[in-house]
Chains A and B, each alone.
Chain A
Amino acid sequence: MVPPGIDRCSVTASRAKAQPRYVARVLGRAIHFLLGRRRGAGVGKLQRNGLGDVSVATALKDNFESSARLSNHPDAVVVRFAGDSGDGMQLTGGQFTLSSALAGNDFSTFPDFPAEIRAPQGTTFGVSAFQVNFGSSDIETAGDQPDVLIAMNPAALKTNVGDLRPGGLVIADTGEFGQRNLAKAGYTVSPIDDNSLARWQVLAFDISALTLEAVKPFGLGNKEALRCKNMWTLGLSLWMFDRDRAPLIAWLQDKFAKNPVLADANIAALNAGHAYGETAEIGGPLRQWTVDAASVEPGYYRTITGGESLSLGLVAGARLAGLDLFLGSYPITPASPILHALARLKEFGVTSFQAEDEIAAIGAAIGASYAGQLGVTSSSGPGIALKGEAIGLAIITELPLVIVNSQRGGPSTGLPTKTEQSDLYQAIYGRNGDAPLVVLSTSSPTDCFDVAIEAVRLATQFMTPVMLLTDGYIANAAQPWLVPDMDDYEPFPVVFHTEAPAEGKFNPYQRDAETLKRVWVKPGTPGLTHRIGGIEKGFDTGNINYEAANHQKMTDTRANKILGIANHIPDQDIDQGAAGGKLVVVGWGSTYGPIRKAVEAARARGLDVSHIHIRYLWPLPKNLGDLLKSFDKILVPEMNTGQLKTVLRDQYLVDAKPLNKVSGQPFKIAEIEAAIDAELARKG
């Protein structure tokens, strides 16, 4: 799921058009915001609110070691918004992220929501959370531990507070801490009153009452009025980090354009939350932090999620290939954002087809490729399993096809909304027969764009299906993206075969001598009628052929064609560190952020460790074996039980050691850093 705010905001931004608002000079760079604001969209009149019941756990403050407290001027801050599924936490987090982007921070987000659309209110399994890490330095992960937790009810507190950094700040809405909600969350006594939160700073007050007070003039019903709580909380958060409210106000006016009363009520709540921070002289933990803008490469930036970036990359790839794009897809979490995004881009020659099932989705994509378009199908693990037989058909008929797998926790239905990278075996090996294809992976939301283009290039230039592995974390997480110029990309136009042979019969399996790719002939081309299918065909004729020697030759040819692609991809590079040394940490996919930061930290401590991140998983880059063998030790962190580790051991006979995590949550930097220390300390 795309954080809901981002889509909506993009509408506002594009409509409001580039009107310079203000120029801030930070860290030697001028940040020039293009975000405009509608005429007349001003900051509403601040309302003064009563403070409500404020209970600050002041007694505990003195117990903190000063190092555990966040400085007033931190490099980076991690904030987690947690509440009921219906509390709008994804939206709040998404909007807060945008304000971070506009303040010039680098950032990374982690939306974490339940599989249920709206679980029973107040329950722990209905808690939806959104974490954002923003700062003035290079941000690669959503952060190991939140510094600030905003808990909208007891269940959100219960399920999230354990992750909070000791000394971190909890903001809780006591209005939701009645006996009923406490019981639902499994508390007998309110944790605010019983000292059980002593490790943290707690700021608990009645946000519900303050919200009701703020929106009173608009005459909303109680339920509707309380739905403005998230905007009140957002307003307070904006004050805490000294953020501009104007873009949010413009966004609310756009979002509720058809219901100005709701727009005004939400804006009033936002302003009230902000004013609360400004005027409440409660001292204690509630104070302002300054997070400087990041020092980043100049250029045009936008926020983007992996799902958006991948969709745009597919369209860009199809344009570079000179083809129309056909997406056959069936709704599935967390892959659906790609279907939603591509369904809107018809002016780019995109046809999207929501099929009756996963098999029909890929079948139609194969049919479209056969007819001369770029066939794409998108799903996650269970859907890819259903597509297995059809993938084999695309392999034996040697048609271009891009198969996107947004991985999630498995097996079977597994953890639909949680992230995992456990479909690597499925991607490389998961079909009947010897059925090789190209496997690529994306390592971050912004990386998706280029990897999608590369998937299209390899599929069309080598007449093969390409499996593109992304995951639920990448699909939903957002990053700032330095938007490239499409004119800098080299086109790779497809040339369809149209020449009838001078003599003899046309063989649809005639191949390029070097790459072994077969010709692509569109039905409708005169003089080249031919038949293809899933049955083995003769190497020299393309006709059905069951002969033993021919099957050997065709199997070898299909395998060699894919292996030969290693000659047409870049050598494996080293992300950090030397080529050779004591230890290399090898990763693929969305573990990029935590591995990068862990290796960076270990290297800063003088440790001899390098980082290799593999994009091309099949065929593997030609130099990878030599590169791995130049290290004494190899550590492979993966969100599975050791799949890349097995592949590396198999391909190179190297002693790759696994570091595995399958909790549905991304790796923490500290976990990988600890494993680096352990591996370097291990004898042998």
Chain B
Amino acid sequence: MPIVVNLDVMMARRKISATELSEQVGITMANLSILKNNKARAVRFSTLEALCRVLNCQPADILAYEPEPADAEKKK
């Protein structure tokens, strides 16, 4: 998907571990890793809100739109 989750970058900048983040956001480690590995199909506003609150950032700091080249579609 052309929407990319850049959670790693923001986590590194805030020096927060995955365990800590999942606890403070209130999601499981499994779900956090789905999110980090760009496997998620959708993000609830409530989750996004909690992420922004804990990481003290804007949605744009976590999410990015990267248009994929036309031939990348075939690989899926």
A binds B: no
A: residues with CB less than 8 A from B are none
Which residues does B use to contact A, with CB under 8 Å? none
